[in-house]
Structure 1
Amino acid sequence: MDMGSMGSGSGVPGYFYMQKMFWAVIGAVVGFAALLNLLDHILLWQRQRSQNAKPKSFFWSFYATITALGREINSASLPTYQFKWLKMRAPPLGKTVLALSYLITVIVFCFYKYDTGDQWSWENIAYRCGCIAQAQLPLIFLLAGKQNIIGYLSGVSYERLNWLHRWVARVLWLTCTFHLMFWFRSWARYDYIKVKLSTDQMTQTGFAAWCILTALVATSFAPMRRVNYEIFLVVHLVLFAGFIGAVMLHVDYGKTYVWICVALFFLDRVLRFGVSLVANLSIFHRRIPGRSWLWAHKATLTPLAGDVTRITIDQPVLRWSPGQHVFLSCHTVAPLQSHPFSIASIESDNQLVFLIQARQGGTKRFHRFALKNLSLFNPSGPEVKRQQLVGVEGPYGTIRPLRQFDSICLFAGSTGATFTVPLLRDIVQRWKASVQGTFSIVTRKIRFVWVVKSRDRVGWFKDQLETALLDVQTIRKIDGFSEKELDLSIYVTCDEELEASNPDGFCGPEAHGAVQVTARASSETNGPTKKSPDQQVEIRSITSTDQNNDGCGPDGTCCCKAAVDEDGAAAKCCCCGPSSISLSSSSSSINEKGPETLPTKPAEDKPQLKLIAGRPKPRNIIRKVLEEAEGESAVVVCGPQGLQDDVRRSVVALSDERAVHKGTGAQGIYLHVEGFCY
């Protein structure tokens, strides 16, 4: 029987024809995404030549307007709904529209020109659904691979396509369910279901494939993945192998799609293996004294405040861009595990640095090893480095180059700074190069916001941030007409989730040894509060070992959850105070021997980090940057889900409020949201 021409009637397309049409639609969508990616690259080239982030012609103005509308739709979302312990988040509208569009497309292909009420069409519908299910299989594997063809064409990294991989798999399950149910519905007319299941091999293998696919989909939801990702990964691979095997036994025709899936899976593995070899073997790179002739990477593990482990690889052979990540493995500490971590350094450091929060599994083992290593080899004397062999795979991750934007807002929560700090440092480094005339850059202003739970965690990036401030200060001294500006704030709050603002805030009882803040008020309570140059702050310690914690929570934690506007009236806080706190120190790691005393009045020529008690108000911060921007701006956020949602809603609201590229003169807003979870 020619299955390709079967359609059960005049004018009904054949099954194989519908498979081809399905891939024609997928190809058109991927082609459109590739075109947008090409336009973004042309825009980058154009802006670097013109030193301006505004549209240069009618076409680019029209493109900017369409882009602004698309961004508003893509990022819009409903507020979080919480009922007792159950918290429900609606995905961004863009993801919802794309997933629903795919679902509708598949349903149309399954039922086009069929009457589901006609019992004589049920078997034909079952055949059609089975063929469309076959056609979807390669798409799932294309979206799952790390070496991702769709990602290369569209400029979107694999991790940002992974949600689509899961939704395509769920639609595949629905299609297979249609395929199964319409066969059952047809057989039920003759009470034939049990007979087919017990005697027919094709029915048995098909039902087995559906059961395995059901298990695959059920175990792939976020709660299951986050219980133990290593176990999830093993279960996922085993079920995948079983599903492909069952499908191979089930189908009599169209096995080409199954073989394509197998080929894509092994191609991805071979490419990843090749990339890993090149990234880790010294024989592929220039010989450097002190580096092993075989394995290139050795790492030092150092414990930091907040149960964080700093992993440092000196003289790496890897090349990367700010905002990228690698899969890191250290089998002597966490056997048979490889996890993605953001690279917290830039290439000019000649180091790969990772800051890893200890949670469970491999990350917890890293921290335990670092603590044990510190206590065994450095109980009281000078630091002794014990290096471990590590492997890296990557780098992965993409973000539009920020140097093409006039103004940049960077928001980070806790270890999310591993993503934003390299982006900040890269722009500052390019500013320095532009002063020397070796590089051109569009960016004029950077607004950096970092939210941490306690003051001691500022030490993670304290030296890098102070150096960035000092570099900008130097640039402005060299070039008196320079418009380069870096505004940096660090918020200290115990509200790690950073959910919707608590208008009244929360403060516990004042702790012994709380920070003393004195500031000259510029007006009465009813008037606006202005910044005072006479603010003086005494910070006794930034370590977790001091008994006199500078906060009402443990380890110097500030328990002020109120959203604070640093330019407005100060919110009341009984622990850390609402005022900006100047932090001065040259150390960026934990002092295990005792507290590190900081000077009350820092040196005048050294830039100071500004610490603020409470939570930031992203909308106010972003609005101020946009009002001063002379071209398109970028907003980047990496942190807890609450911070991501807050920044996303703020950008959408401000884009709509300012009528971006809709005749008001307001310039565009590019939003990049980076998460750190599976």
Structure 2
Amino acid sequence: MSHSMHGSGGGELFPIPGDPYFAKIYWMFVGGAIGVGVLVHLGELLLYRQRLVDALISAASRALPEPARPKNFLVRWYATLTATAREAIYYTAPLIDAGRIPSSAGSRASWKKALPLNLPQLGCVLLIAANLSLLLSLVFYGWDVENRWNWEALAVHTGWITLAQLPLVFLLAGKRNLIGYATGTSYERLNWIHRWVARCMFITATIHLSYFLRTWAQYDYIERKFEIDIISRRGLCAWCVLLWIVLSSFAPIRGWRYELFVIQHVISFIAFVVMVRLHTPSNAHIYVWVPVAIFFLDRALRIIYMLYTNLAIFHPGRLGKPSRPFTCNATFHALSDKATKVVILDPPFGWRPGQHAFVSCHSLVPLQSHPFTITTLPSDNSLEFVIRTQKGGTGKLFDYACVLPVNKDKSKTVIIDGPYGQVRPLEQFDTVFLLAGGAGSTFIIPLLRDLVRLKRESKPMVTRKVRLVWVVRSSTQISWFAKEIADAMATLGRLDGLVLETSVYVTCGVLSALSSSSPSKNGLIDGEDSRAMYAEKAQGAAVEESELCGGDRCCCQEVLEDEDAIIEANKADGEKKQVCCCCSQSTVPHPKIPKTTTNTDLVGAQTQDSTSENSFAASLYLPPTHVFSGRPAIKALLNKELEKALGESAVVACGPAELIQKTRQVVVALSDERAVHKGTGAQGIYLHTESFSW
């Protein structure tokens, strides 16, 4: 049903377009928003090219010594607009955190940290609010909602607006995402918008249904209508399925059993599309068939990429055994702190640092596929993943690596879907601040290594300074990438033009004397060490809770406001201060360890006695860096680097949600305090964050 005239609130009549036209109006706005995203992406690409050209000119003649600084009026105006927009987009409301709740468990007082509520970025909130405002405006424009004779026509009108959103929901859902390719945005960042667009569609669908019910209720006709009208029954079924889709997509349910969620989610949307197709008139079916085409296009592209990547027939001569049907065969190695390294030699595809891939090993974890960050560079000729053990499939991978150490060289066939992910090239920024929390190092370390590679190969780059801060729960995690950090430090020690500074913060572990045996190179654990670690895992001896150390808080949770002051104080007095090791109460008494350990001379010192203060760090091949017991003061560390920056800086953070939230707040606060590109001379701050959650 369409309409040409509506009664206004004042009783006057005026012509407005029909229902299908309002659906087209919605797509005019959606297309405009996508177009803005495309223009922004193109602007970023042009800026990247311009900076690299300036870097080449600067290297040749020193005529442009600061390639990352805006130099003309147009670029300065763009930088100011960008800085203002970033402050609004990055801003998040402070965490709603109940703090630490006292508990009387055990003989000593302890504290249990309450779970925080992570609020979304203001940019995301504004985007969804704009979408919902547009939808409600299109729904109610020109209608007198107090006139009961308009209710049924308004319900039909709202149905068209609801249907118009379905193609956008599917466009934002795919892994091979067309909007993502056009705007330079990875699919996982669009997935959040996908969920909220679907929730907006549910709101308009509810309005559509409620006005029909309101009309029929006037005559006590609701039950009879559903009895005699199959179209109405199909519409009600479609609404019920959409309700289930919306409810099941919220984080607690989605994360409970993610594999089951994905299966039921696909089945539910198929049922929803079928019901919508049966419920709508033929002139509206374009909004059904387009989503179907988008869905199958995404699946076809993924299948084509997966077949090309994983079938050996497409890569003749690459593998030593031509009879092998699959290209990707992985070995599994146990790492310290319940992590597993998956190694695939001679991978059949390329990738960029910061990307991830879905890994399936059906012989160990049947019918499951999980995304993991790629920790190596294409130049390594090895595709590697460092996987932190959680419940489910990752635990099975770790168990296999632990209990079968003698078979660690026996490969297992794996299926790779990817790579996915988008990160702006970091070599276009003057200063790069890398912040990793625990397993977030799997994302951060490849970015660091790529910058070092570009410098080693004399490729054009703007970056002068890289600052790495890695926060770990246990010092055993340092072994995951200690060699990579050491190699990067050693490489830059022989080159000029790029400075690397690193700090490691241990929040819940002993900095020394943790192990009576040294892990092997690359942090791999072999033979008896692997079996011993598996036995420890089975006995539940892992560190889980922090205990108190002289007061109402754990010493390892202290925020260290001034790195330099701590380092200088330790150099001056040479004392080894006693701090809490934050171990569980069942562990041995706390040893005496220094507040900060300066590992300047540890490379090549692996022959030291394992009970000495620095033996554990030495056994991990730590580079010249500083290892602190506590938490970093992110704002102080970042502000120190921004004060020295001669152009735009990049802040890249990956880790737990609380770390990401804190980093966003710090970046917004510093951008506002420094009045970036607002006449003070302070340079811009680009922020890229990656979280563990979906």
**Paired position in structure 2 for 1:637:** 653
User: Match of 1:144, SS?
Assistant: coil
How has the CA–CA distance of structure 1 residues 24 and 372 changed in structure 2, closer, same or farther, with 3 Å as cutoff? same
Matched residue SS, 2:626: strand
Structure 1 pair 255–202 and aligned structure 2 pair: CA distance change class (3 A): same
Given that residues 512 and 615 in structure 2 are in contact (C-alpha distance below 8 angstroms), is that contact kept between their aligned partners in structure 1? no
Mark the CA change 1:12 to 1:255 in structure 2 (over 3 Å): closer, same or farther: same
Shift of 1:283: 2.8
Counterpart check, 1:484 vs 2:513: no
The one of 242, 247, 269 equivalent to 1:213 is 242
Question: Where does 1:383-402 land on structure 2 (aligned, <5 Å)?
Answer: 384-402=408-426
Contact 1:308–1:356 (8 Å) recurs in 2: yes
* Rounded Cα–Cα distance in structure 2 between residues aligned with 1:151 and 1:244: 24
Query: Does residue 448 of the first structure (1) align with residue 468 of the second (2)?
Result: yes
Question: 1:286 Cα shift?
Answer: 5.3
Deviation by residue 1:209-260 (Cα, 9 ceiling, x = unmatched):
0001000000000011111101111111121111111111111230111111
Instruction: Please tell me the residue identity of whatever aligns with 1:578.
Output: K
Deviations 1:105-132 (A, max 9, x none): 1111111111211211111211111000
**2:231 & 2:249 partners in 1: Cα distance?**
27
Quickly say closer, same or farther: Cα 1:6–1:418, change in 2 above 3 A.
farther
More displaced 10-residue stretch of structure 1: 17-26 or 3-12? 3-12
Deviation for aligned residue 1:677 = 1.8
**Corresponding residue number in structure 1 for 2:365:** 334
Q: Which amino acid aligns with 1:560?
A: C
Structure-1 residue corresponding to 2:557: 561
Shift of 1:372: 2.2
Residues 550-588 of structure 1: CA deviation (Å, up to 9, x unaligned): xx9949999610111312347973334321342846799
CA contact (8 A) 1:450 1:491 kept: yes
Alpha-carbon distance in 2 for matches of 1:149, 1:273: 16
Map of 2:17 onto structure 1 = 13
Flag the 1:291–1:461 CA change in 2: closer, same or farther, 3 A: farther
Conservation of the 8 A alpha-carbon contact between 2:471 and 2:505: yes
Task: Give ranges in structure 1 of 5+ residues lacking alignment.
Answer: 379-383, 476-481, 496-510, 517-537, 589-593
Q: How far apart are the structure 2 equivalents of 1:602 and 1:178?
A: 66
Q: Does 1:578 align with 2:595?
A: yes
Query: Partner letter of residue 310 of structure 2?
Result: N
Task: Give the residue type in structure 1 aligned to 2:385.
Answer: F
Cα distance change of structure 1 residues 542 and 226 upon mapping to structure 2, 3 Å threshold: farther
- Report the Cα offset of residue 159 of structure 1: 0.4
Deviations 1:585-619 (A, max 9, x none): 6799xxxxx9999659979x994242111111111
Q: 3-state DSSP class of the match of 2:457?
A: helix
Q: For the structure 1 residues 26 and 185, does the alpha-carbon distance in structure 2 shift closer, same or farther, using more than 3 Å as the test?
A: same
TM-score (norm 1): 0.85
Matching residue's letter, 2:688? H
Out of 408, 428, 442, the residue aligned to residue 432 of structure 2 is 408
SS at match of 1:318: coil
1:178 aligns with 2:192: no
Distance in 2 between residues matched to 1:596 and 1:541, nearest whole Å: 12
2:92 is aligned to 77
Question: Could you say if the C-alpha distance between residues 305 and 247 of structure 1 is closer, same or farther in structure 2, counting changes exceeding 3 Å?
Answer: same
Q: Taking structure 1 as reference, are residues 225 and 585 closer, same or farther at Cα in structure 2, changes over 3 Å only?
A: farther
Which of 23, 45, 48 is matched with 2:49 structurally? 45
Question: Is 1:455–1:542's contact at 8 Å kept on the other side of the alignment?
Answer: no
- SS of equivalent to 2:172: helix
**1:241 aligns with one of 256, 262, 270:** 270
User: 2: distance between equivalents of 1:335 and 1:303?
Assistant: 20
The one-letter code matched in structure 2 to 1:407 is: T
**Which residue of structure 2 lines up, in the alignment, with residue 126 of structure 1?**
155
Residues 4 and 581 of structure 1, relative CA distance in 2, 3 Å threshold? farther
Equivalent residue in structure 1 for 2:83, among 68, 78, 85? 68
Opposite residue 196 of structure 1, the aligned amino acid is K
Three-state SS of the structure 2 residue aligned to 1:161 is helix
Residues 541 and 632 of structure 1, relative CA distance in 2, 3 Å threshold: farther
Give the distance between the partners of 1:465 and 1:248, measured in 2 at CA: 56
Structure 1 counterpart of 2:90, one-letter code = S
The one-letter code sitting in structure 1 at the alignment partner of 2:627 is L
1:273 to 275, 283, 303: 303
Residue of structure 2 in register with 1:160 after alignment: 189
- Look up the SS of the partner of 2:404 in the other structure: helix
SS in 2 for 1:43: helix
Q: What's 1:222 paired with? A: 251
| Alignment check: 8 A CA contact 2:361 2:415 kept | yes
Residue 36 (1) aligns with residue 65 (2):
no
- CA displacement 1:192-222 (0-9 Å, x = unmatched): 1111122210110000100010000000000
Partner SS for 1:102 = helix
Supply the distance in 2 between the matched residues of 1:442 and 1:221 (Cα, whole angstroms): 42
Q: Deviations over 1:265-308 (max 9, x none)?
A: 11110100001111112332351352545311100011111211
Contact 2:143 2:150 in 1 (8 A): yes
The match for 2:390 is 359
Q: 1:209 to 1:597 in 2, by over 3 A?
A: same
Residue 59 of structure 1 pairs with residue 89 of structure 2: no
Once structures 1 and 2 are overlaid, which stretch shifts more, 20-29 or 234-243? 234-243
* Cα 1:587–1:321 shift into 2, 3 Å: farther
Partner of 1:529 in structure 2? none
Compute the displacement of 1:455 (Å): 1.2
Q: Secondary structure at the match of 1:625?
A: helix
CA contact (8 A) 1:146 1:268 kept: yes
Give the counterpart letter for 1:473 in structure 2.
G
Q: How does 1:607-646 map to 2 (within 5 A)?
A: 607-646=623-662
- The share of aligned pairs that are identical, in percent, is 41
Determine whether 1:318 maps to 2:349: yes
Matching of residue 429 in structure 1 with residue 446 in structure 2: no
Cα separation, partners in 2 of 1:289 and 1:359, compared to 1, 3 Å: closer
Residues 130-154 of structure 1 deviation map (CA, whole Å, 9 limit, x = unaligned): 0001000000000000111111111
CA contact (8 A) 1:633 1:669 kept: yes
Which residue, out of 111, 125, 131, partners 1:96? Answer: 125
Partner residue of 2:690?
Answer: 674
The answer to whether the aligner puts 1:647 opposite 2:663 as a matched pair is yes
TM-score by length of 2: 0.83
Shift of 1:314: 0.4
Q: Which amino acid aligns with 1:617?
A: A
Post-superposition Cα deviations, 1:591-649, rounded to whole Å, max 9, x if no partner, equal xxx9999659979x994242111111111111011011100000000000111011111
Q: Tell me the amino acid that sits aligned with residue 561 of structure 1.
A: Q
The within-5 A match list for 1:447-596 is 447-475=467-495, 482-494=496-508, 515=512, 554=543, 560-564=556-560, 565-569=562-566, 573-575=579-581, 576-582=593-599, 584=602
Match of 1:258 in 2: 288
What residue identity is the alignment partner of 2:432?
Answer: I
Alpha-carbon RMSD across the aligned residues, in angstroms, is 2.9
